[in-house]
Every structure is written in structure tokens, then in C-alpha cells.
Structure 1
């Protein structure tokens, strides 16, 4: 179902607890200013960043977050849950982001973002956001072609609905969710690695950028998209180059938002 309200652009320029000073900021966007972070463990520092993001998202009618990581999604979802009792999740990603501290081989928190939303990382954060776990049955995971073995098993044991990054498959899965507002999350690494120079975690062959644009358009035409999030997971030295900006512009346009940059791309 098309929603013609204008998107409210929000920028969170960090990766985990690290500020990305070159992260591009659209001219009409609100940039979340990172608070001063104490010398504490990374999750505690992330909590402060996420609290600031949740407050910014809660002040908007239709948030579209541009971020440097996936875990900040917990802030976006927590804020949306303040106004929506039920909220479903459409997650487009080359990875499952379904690791937990117990099964992760690397301990990388960015690989746990969807597990965070579904309540599988108890104890990792003290959760000042008031995030309510999203039921597995309310989650659609698209693509996820690059999974760790234990992560694969965890997804297989879950009730998360997995679909290919295909417009028709995504529309059908969203139809099955019923008339519930949807949080749409996209990590740019879902796109074929050959089209993503400088990606932080390239995952080889996958759907083209054009196919992902079609997926986003299909989602917007099918569901009530209450909020959206683009994880702009390029390496810091590439996040602000021409190719990255062009990709972000195309993806936001597929959602019905127009991005005008504050200044010309640096390269």
C-alpha cells in the first residue's frame, strides 16, 4: 500500500561506537549528534548512541535512517514501537545478522543486529530503549546468502520467514503478515559485490542494485512501511565517494525519497 507522506531523513554517522566523520549527510536530513562517550565497554557506548537515535526517530512521522551499521536498528525499532503496538520487520541483507554472543565466531556485534531485535541477545545491553522483542513470525529475512554455520542452524530452528531478494517473493511474504506496520531494513551489502566498490563486508554475487530497487518498490506498494533504514556499510574511506552516494540516492528514490547532498562528492 503506497504511503505518500514525506520521509523524514535521519543520519547516524557511526559504526558500532566509532564515529564516521566523512559520512555523507543529505541537505534535508537531521544528523544525530553523537554524545560524549565514556571509556566503557562497546555495548555501553552503543547504548548512549542508540538512546540519542531513538529520541530522534520518535520525533518524526515517517523516519528513514541512513546509518553506518546495522545494530542502531534497535533504536529505530524501539522508537517505532512507542507508537505501534505491533511491528513487523522486513530485513534485506547478504548476512543473517542472527549471530549471538554464544555462537558468534568473531564476536562482531554488527552480525547480531537481527538477533537483537528478536530478543536473542539478553544481557548484551541493559536495554534502556524499552525494545520489545519482535516475534520470529513477524520477521521476513530476504537474501541472507552469507551465513556462518551456527547462524544457519539458528535461523533454521527459528520461525523467521526466509525469502529470496525477489519483488514477488517479498510482496507475498508481506501479504502473509497481514495489516501490520512494517519496519524495512536494508544493508547495502545485499547488492551484488561487483556493484559495491569499497563495501565493508562484500558477499560476492547477489541481486543487482536494479533488482533491490524493485524489491523496495514492491515492499512499499504492498505494506504499511512505518519506517525504513539503510545500513551504508562501506569502508570509512569509501562511504562518501561518488559511487556510494549514487547507490544511496537510488535506494532512497526506490522508497519514494529524494536525496540532495549538502556538497559534491569528495571523489
Structure 2
């Protein structure tokens, strides 16, 4: 199994980012000057190619410090000839565009960008094709901004709580499984950058993630290690160890 580490939060390099997996490769190219999206597009070109190659050995796993790395992972699956659906575990929606975001935080935009919306810089650079809203499931996302709620009300994205994830909710075909650790209630996982209180316990998230893996259709997994470096990694293994073990059996 290919396990790729991308030790960045957006375009900022974090060499001491602790992740709950042992990588088989680490992506750390010197990023060029430019806007954050231009720098990230350059980085995600490497991610997409690593995922494409990793598909030869089963289900690649990509660990990084944010959710935007998913853009490169999905592009890599597409390069491998797959048309992946998206099952996105997150305490937040990640559904903003530059126009809707009050903070301008780029990490709040990747799921919307996977639909083809938002800044086109990354998609154009790495050849990312839009994923249909109808082939996306947003799991949890209890912390939504008003523009995200408005968007979801009119979109084809299905939304469900962790404990409500069932077989009939999952999209058909190959699946990109995205696990942002802030989906877990901070009572079980402290040190997160953007904790969202009132969420599911770690064991509940694990049970739901395993349900997705056991379909045998997970083509890649993204681990968004959205914590301050050196704060969480070891404790998160209670989620990743069983998921990776199940992936090995499913593969």
C-alpha cells in the first residue's frame, strides 16, 4: 500500500507535522514564488502523480495538514482512469468560494472546488475534472457558515450525520474517502486547529469509516491531519490503524 505524506498546511511547509501513518514517500518539492493557489497547484501536481502511481498497488493513502490536498488526490485517481465519487468526513463544510468566504481561508474551499467552482488555478494546472454533486456525500459538517447552508439547500450533495451513514447513502462506483480529523469531537482529539464541539466520538467515526471501506470500493483515502504539529498524531492512530488494516483486507 502506498502511503504518501504531504507535510504542508496550504502552501506552508511543516517538517514536524506528526501523522498517524508511516509514509512510503514524502512530497516536499521546493515551491515556486507566486500566489498560494499557484504554489499549491505546483505541489498537487506531485500529489496527483504519486496517487496515479499508487493505484497500481491498491488503495493509496495521502496524509497532509489540510483538506485542500484532496484536489491532487482526486486528480490522481482521474489520471488512473477512475471516476471517483467523494465521501467527505469533516466537522466543517469546506464549501466556500472566494466570494462567499468572509475570512478568505483557502482550507474552507476544497469540497466546493471539487465540484468545479471557485478559483480555477489548481484544476487547470493538474487537470482536475469536476465531480458531480450527486456523487458526493458530506458526513457530519456540523459547523457551517450561512453561505454554505444556502448552497447545500440547493445542491445535489447528500448530507448525513456520522451515525446516519448507511449503505444506501453511499454513491456508486469508486470512492475517494476523505477523513478530516476535526470530524471527531475535540473531547476525544484535542490540539485541532479548528475544533468543532458537539461532534461524534472517535469510535463512532471509526465505525462509519470502516463501513465505507468494507464496500471494497474505496480507491484512495485522504487523511487531513488538521492539528498543530506535535499535538495529536499518536492519538489519531486509534482511527487510522483499523482503517488501514481494513483497507489491506479489502484490497
Correspondence for 2:249: none
Output the TM-score relative to the length of structure 2.
Answer: 0.91
What corresponds to 1:50 in structure 2? 44
**Secondary structure at 1:22's aligned position in 2?**
coil
Kindly indicate whether residue 225 of structure 2 is the aligned counterpart of residue 232 of structure 1.
yes
What is the number of equivalent residue pairs in this alignment? 243
Sort the Cα spacing of 1:163 and 1:223 in 2 relative to 1 into closer, same or farther, 3 A: farther
In structure 2, C-alpha distance between the alignment counterparts of 1:29 and 1:38, rounded to whole Å: 24
> Map of 1:64-213 to 2, 5 A cutoff?
64-125=61-122, 127-166=124-163, 169-174=165-170, 177-178=171-172, 180-213=173-206
Offset from partner CA, 1:66-85 (integer Å, 9 cap, x none): 11110010000000012234
Alpha-carbon distance in 1 for matches of 2:20, 2:35: 31
Q: Which residue of 2 aligns with 1:264?
A: none
Matches within 5 A, 1:240-259: 243-247=232-236, 249-257=237-245
Please state whether the residue corresponding to 1:229 is helix, strand or coil: strand
Of 23, 31, 56, the residue aligned with 1:29 is: 23
Distance 1:171 1:253, change over 3 A: farther
In structure 2, distance between residues paired with 1:76 and 1:198: 25
Q: CA deviation at 1:124?
A: 4.4
SS at match of 1:91: strand
SS of 2:234's partner is: helix
Unaligned runs of 5+ residues in structure 1 are 1-6, 259-267
| CA deviation after TM superposition for structure 1 residue 122, in Å | 4.2
SS in 2 for 1:70: coil
Secondary structure in structure 1 of the residue aligned to 2:40: helix
Contact 2:52 2:76 in 1 (8 A): yes
Structure 1 residues 25 and 214 mapped into 2: Cα distance closer, same or farther (>3 Å)? closer
- Give the TM-score normalised by the residue count of structure 1: 0.86
Cα distance, 1:45 vs structure 2: 0.7
What value does the CA root-mean-square deviation take over the aligned residues?
A: 1.8
CA contact (8 A) 1:32 1:53 kept: no
Provide the rounded CA distance (Å) in 1 between the counterparts of 2:244 and 2:26: 22
What secondary structure is seen at the aligned counterpart in 2 of 1:116? helix
